[in-house]
Amino acid sequence: MTTSMLWRAGRRLLLIAGLPAVLITAWWLATANSTNFYWPPLRTIVEVFGPTWLEGKLTSDVLPSLARLGVGYLAALALGIGIGVAIGSSTTLRATVEPVLEFFRAIPPPVLVPILILFAGIGDGMKVLVIVSGAIWPILLNTVEGVRSIDEVLRDTAACYRFRTRTRLTTLILRGASPQIMTGARQALSIAIILMVISEMFAASNGLGFTIIQFQRSFALPQMWSGIILLGLIGVALSLLFRLVETRVLAWYFGQRDTQQSGA
Amino acid sequence: MTQSPRKTPKDSDIMSIVSTLTRSTPEPAMSTDDTGQHTPMLDVRGLRKVYASGKRSVEAVRDLTFGVDPGELVCLVGPSGCGKTTLLRCISGLLETTSGEVVLEGKRVSGPPEGMAVVFQEYGRSLFPWLTVWQNVELPLKEKGISRAERKRLTTESLAAVGLADFHTAHPWQLSGGMQQRVAIARAVAYEPHVLLMDEPFAAVDAQTRGELEDLVRALWERLGVTVLFVTHDIDEAVYLGQRVVILSSSPTVVLEDVTIDLPAERDQLTTRSLPRFTELRAHVYERVQQAKQGNRPSTPTATS
């Protein structure tokens, strides 16, 4: 019993950590004796990682970046869900707005950066706006779709039992659309991380993107590589956090899906 | 389907629990107006529904007039596709009528009225999958503004009455189809409606479960004195359950006949269904529904009883 459980846990760990271990080892061995200026040994990159990021730059660059990411992402969530619910609930509004939405969605957010600098300057506001302008679309469009696809019988049930507007919104609309909203939010998260970096590569005086560009321009390549690794790690951490939230919020959805699949 | 919480209570259990369920709705008395005629609980007068889309219009319901007295259990039966669902949506205020009116307790229905609960055919789609069984039953009571203690009492009692006392924390999708429909029935019962509409509630459950649920509805109806309008396409079910069976024509719908079911009030699956009178009534209703299927309709749509 215990051995089989241990064996299963070990197998799981192997599945999760196996490929990263192989990749890291390959990188380590391939660059071990590298004298190429642009491809420093992984050992050097790891050595500079701590001094580069954990002393000083953590508060001056990493945290400001994460703060802008957080504010931008949450604003995109609030706006996307709010507008999405409004559009999804009204056929007229949907017919009016949908073509325009398609147009805005098709514009790559990075091209908005120069324009946004004109309006919002080069401060935090601009960077948050860039993140919102890109991350809002998957959330908004998925919310519209989610609200539209809420079951007709469930709507009738809410109407028959005379649900108040507030309950209708929280218990019927938002919960009903939550699987699609979460899908949109997941896509939006990776877009938001990309835009956080890009917005800092334009006019900026701190932040992860800014620092990585600075390292590149001053030919501090191990440091530059360590910054890229840090970005990757942040991405992994945020996606794990997202999954944690998702399993809580959508527990009913996964449960229902599993039941239907095993019953079919 | 996972085999987790699935235990079907026996009929006898349910009946004993039902009898402990206290009646807290005042029995709707046979109200009498000034002229001395009793007024029905639910009155459908000249109801007509035309679906218009662009230039095409489809007449689903032509002219329906019938009434349901307080405390009565009336079944509506008709050939499939006869506009039963349209009719039910009009009565429950979910759909506007083209002409005619639906009057509930003397008030004209213009939206989902107070004092009415609906049990839909699609049980799996009418329960909130993100809420537990308990929350599903309790939520409408919250919306009605009922106090916490009273909500607790009503929810506990109605779940016990349908034999689901042990499933409070389960989610609907963890239950079998018949049990899900029991949750929907418990939700309707806890709401303490004056009129209970049931839209082919057992069409999607297996035959054995259907029998149990039919008896459950009879038991709850007798116990609570609630007025029930039961829509079905199953002729046996209509005759077995109802005090009256209203036979509908094919679409555009009119009333073909209003049959009084003069079977003993005490009904059970075995003896009632083997009574000669049951067979007679069943044959009669069957014949009329067959005629309706062939497009047979009365020259003047009148209700005779």
CATH code where residue A176 lies: 1.10.3720.10
Query: Do the Cβ atoms of A126 and A199 come closer than 8 Å?
Result: yes
Would you place residue A123 in the very low, low, confident or very high pLDDT band (cuts 50, 70, 90)? confident
Q: Which of residues 231-260 of A touch B (CB under 8 A)?
A: 252-253, 255-256, 259-260
Q: Which of residues 264-303 of B touch A (CB under 8 A)?
A: none
Closest Cα in chain B to A174: B130
Mean pLDDT comparison of A90-94, B57-61, B121-125, B194-198, highest-scoring range = B194-198
CB contact under 8 A, A175 and B128: yes
3-state per-residue secondary structure call for chain B: CCCCCCCCCCHHHHHHHHHHCCCCCCCCCCCECCCCCECCCEEEEEEEEEEEECCEEEEEEEEEEEEECCCCEEEEECCCCCCHHHHHHHHCCCCCCCEEEEEECCEECCCCCCCEEEECCCHHHHCCCCCCHHHHHHHHHHHCCCCHHHHHHHHHHHHHHCCCCCCCCCCHHHCCHHHHHHHHHHHHHHCCCCEEEEECCCCCCCHHHHHHHHHHHHHHHHHHCCEEEEEECCHHHHHHHCCEEEEECCCCEEEEEEEECCCCCCCCHHHHHCCHHHHHHHHHHHHHHHHHHCCCCCCCCCCCC
Query: Given a cut of 80, is residue B288 above it in pLDDT?
Result: yes
Determine, yes or no, domain membership for A101.
yes
Mean of the per-residue pLDDT values for chain A?
Answer: 90
Q: How does pLDDT run across B117-132, given as a tens digit for each residue? A: 999 988 888 999 999 9
Mutate to test the interface with B, among A152, A156, A163, A172 (most CBs of B within 10 A): A156
Percent of chain B with pLDDT over 70: 85
Tell me which chain B residues have a C-beta less than 8 angstroms from the C-beta of A172.
128
Query: Given a cut of 70, is residue B17 above it in pLDDT?
Result: no
Query: Given a cut of 50, is residue B303 above it in pLDDT?
Result: no
CB contact under 8 A, B191 and A161: yes
pLDDT at residue number A252: 94
Query: Given a cut of 70, is residue B300 above it in pLDDT?
Result: no
Domain range list for chain B:
34-115+195-305, 125-192
Report which secondary-structure segment, H or E, holds A41: none
Tell me which chain A residues have a C-beta less than 8 angstroms from the C-beta of B89.
156
Q: Higher pLDDT residue, A97 or B2?
A: A97
Reported as half-sphere exposure (CB side, CA atoms, 13 A), residue A247 has a value of 5
Determine, yes or no, domain membership for A203.
yes
Between A and B, how many CB-CB pairs are < 8 A?
75
CB contact under 8 A, A252 and B129: yes
Give the mean model confidence (pLDDT) for residues B66-91: 88
Q: Which of residues 171-200 of A touch B (CB under 8 A)?
A: 171-172, 175, 178
- Min mean pLDDT across A96-100, B31-35, B82-86 is at B31-35
Angstroms from B228 CA to nearest CA on chain A: 16
Would you place residue B298 in the very low, low, confident or very high pLDDT band (cuts 50, 70, 90)? low
pLDDT at residue number B291: 84
Q: Is A39 helix (H, G, I), strand (E, B) or coil?
A: coil
Determine, yes or no, domain membership for A10.
no
Mean of the per-residue pLDDT values for chain B?
Answer: 83
Angstroms from A186 CA to nearest CA on chain B: 20
pLDDT at residue number B31: 46
Determine, yes or no, domain membership for A39.
no
Query: Given a cut of 50, is residue A233 above it in pLDDT?
Result: yes
Q: Which of residues 118-147 of B touch A (CB under 8 A)?
A: 118, 120, 122, 125-131, 139-140, 142-144
Tell me which chain A residues have a C-beta less than 8 angstroms from the C-beta of B127.
157
CA pair distance A245, A182, nearest whole angstrom: 10
pLDDT at residue number B30: 46
Q: How does pLDDT run across A91-106, given as a tens digit for each residue? A: 899 889 988 888 888 8
pLDDT at residue number B243: 93
Q: What is the tally of structural domains in chain A?
A: 1
Determine, yes or no, domain membership for A121.
yes
Give the mean model confidence (pLDDT) for residues B206-226: 89
Closest Cα in chain B to A158: B140
Closest Cα in chain B to A257: B173
Query: Given a cut of 60, is residue B20 above it in pLDDT?
Result: no
| Residue A243 domain boundaries | 44-250
In this complex, is the C-beta atom of B92 within 8 Å of any C-beta atom belonging to chain A?
yes
Q: How does pLDDT run across B250-269, given as a tens digit for each residue? A: 878 888 889 899 888 888 88
Would you place residue B5 in the very low, low, confident or very high pLDDT band (cuts 50, 70, 90)? very low
Using CB atoms, pick whichever of B111, B117, B129 lies closest to residue A256. Answer: B129
pLDDT at residue number A101: 87
Tell me which chain B residues have a C-beta less than 8 angstroms from the C-beta of A178.
130
- Min mean pLDDT across A171-175, A247-251, B25-29, B123-127 is at B25-29
Would you place residue B233 in the very low, low, confident or very high pLDDT band (cuts 50, 70, 90)? confident
In this complex, is the C-beta atom of B223 within 8 Å of any C-beta atom belonging to chain A?
no
Would you place residue A119 in the very low, low, confident or very high pLDDT band (cuts 50, 70, 90)? confident
pLDDT at residue number A1: 57
Would you place residue B4 in the very low, low, confident or very high pLDDT band (cuts 50, 70, 90)? very low
Q: How does pLDDT run across A28-59, given as a tens digit for each residue? A: 998 888 888 888 888 889 888 888 888 878 88
Closest Cα in chain B to A159: B112
In this complex, is the C-beta atom of B101 within 8 Å of any C-beta atom belonging to chain A?
no
Closest CA to B189 of B151, B214, B237, B226: B226
- Min mean pLDDT across B162-171, B232-241, B261-270 is at B261-270
Q: Top-level CATH class of B34-115+195-305?
A: alpha beta
Assess: ipTM above 0.90: no
Query: Given a cut of 90, is residue B54 above it in pLDDT?
Result: no
Give the mean model confidence (pLDDT) for residues A202-210: 85
Q: Higher pLDDT residue, B190 or A15?
A: B190
pLDDT at residue number B130: 95
Angstroms from A95 CA to nearest CA on chain B: 18
Q: Higher pLDDT residue, B166 or A111?
A: B166
Tell me which chain A residues have a C-beta less than 8 angstroms from the C-beta of B125.
151-154
In this complex, is the C-beta atom of A159 within 8 Å of any C-beta atom belonging to chain B?
yes
CB contact under 8 A, B173 and A260: yes
Mutate to test the interface with B, among A91, A161, A169, A246 (most CBs of B within 10 A): A161
In this complex, is the C-beta atom of B233 within 8 Å of any C-beta atom belonging to chain A?
no
